[in-house]
Amino acid sequence: MHKVERNEAPQELVEKNNIINQNIDNYDINKEWSKFTSTDLKKETLNRLKEMFKGCCAYCESKFDDNSYPQIDHFKPKSLFPEFCFDYNNMNYSCEKCNMYKRDKYDEMLINPSCDNPEEHMRFKGVYLTSLDERGNVTLDLFGINLEDRLEKKKEKYNTIREKIETITNVLKEITTNVNCFNEQVKTLLDINIKDIEKAFDISSEYSTMVKHNFENDYKYIQSIMKKLETL
């Protein structure tokens, strides 16, 4: 989980939210929401959220494939806070699993990646997100992020990046002992692997915070050696 800057709400949604909140007692919020789910405005809202979260789930940072669909998560559940049901600032881009584990639960301590900085409260150790304080604890429990059945894809990503880092550092070690090894072929191999690593750190990549917390130092080391090699 990492911090995300909120973008602007679709104007039509802002207007809808205003209308409803002028007289909220007159509305059955669940009915209003289920009407909304089949509209173009819902599609536009989801697209705006996708843009904001770079296509990753706000909470577990998974990406979506043919078998998984993004959902709008009400950070403050609409059953407890009907007044925020159509408030864009209360909406996050979520995978089905995070949305399902969270359901109608809410806690004041819960970390919202579009307001708080999750990295101040939680940090990855391997594929497990660990808490640094009570807010981290509450958040991890509520989203079920470390449940074993949700770690498979994360483990794959972790191993792929670890292997690439190992390949690069081994090649770099060889070069530093014998600089003549640094030919065009080796340079191309390094460039390809380093580009992949760079991409994995980008927040539009799946599980980028896990990659960052585990491999930040390795990546800095690789960058510093590459800089030295460029001057040769």
Taking CB under 5 A as the binding criterion, the range among 82-90, 94-102, 157-165, 177-185 that sits at the site for Zn ion is 94-102
Q: Based on the shown chain and the rule CB under 5 A, indicate whether residue 122 belongs to the binding site for Zn ion.
A: no
Q: Shortest Cβ distance from residue 224 to Zn ion (Å)?
A: 34
Nearer to Zn ion, 24 or 100 (CB): 100
Taking the C-alpha atoms of residue 52 and residue 100, their distance in angstroms, rounded to an integer, is: 21
Task: State the CB neighbour count (10 A cutoff) for residue 134.
Answer: 10
Tokens of 155: 């483990």
Q: Shortest Cβ distance from residue 3 to Zn ion (Å)?
A: 16
The amino acid occupying position 164 is K
Q: Based on the shown chain and the rule CB under 5 A, indicate whether residue 1 belongs to the binding site for Zn ion.
A: no
Q: Based on the shown chain and the rule CB under 5 A, indicate whether residue 57 belongs to the binding site for Zn ion.
A: yes
Nearer to Zn ion, 91 or 95 (CB): 95
Radius of gyration over every alpha carbon of the chain, rounded to an integer in angstroms: 22
The binder of Zn ion chosen from 52, 60, 165, 200 (CB under 5 A) = 60
Nearer to Zn ion, 90 or 94 (CB): 94
Backbone angles phi, psi at 131, to 5 degrees: -90, 145
Backbone angles phi, psi at 129, to 5 degrees: -85, 125
Q: Based on the shown chain and the rule CB under 5 A, indicate whether residue 52 belongs to the binding site for Zn ion.
A: no
In the chain, at which residue ranges do the beta strands (DSSP E only) sit?
A: 71-74, 91-94, 122-125, 128-131
Taking the C-alpha atoms of residue 200 and residue 76, their distance in angstroms, rounded to an integer, is: 31
Residue 104 and residue 61 in contact, taking contact as beta carbons nearer than 8 Å: no
Taking the C-alpha atoms of residue 115 and residue 1, their distance in angstroms, rounded to an integer, is: 12
Chain positions 12 to 31 lying near Zn ion, rule: CB under 5 A, are none
Total chain residues near Zn ion (CB under 5 A): 5
Q: Shortest Cβ distance from residue 115 to Zn ion (Å)?
A: 18
The amino acid occupying position 217 is N
Nearer to Zn ion, 69 or 199 (CB): 69
The binder of Zn ion chosen from 9, 52, 85, 95 (CB under 5 A) = 95
Q: Shortest Cβ distance from residue 149 to Zn ion (Å)?
A: 13
Residues of this chain that bind Zn ion (CB under 5 A): 57, 59-60, 95, 98
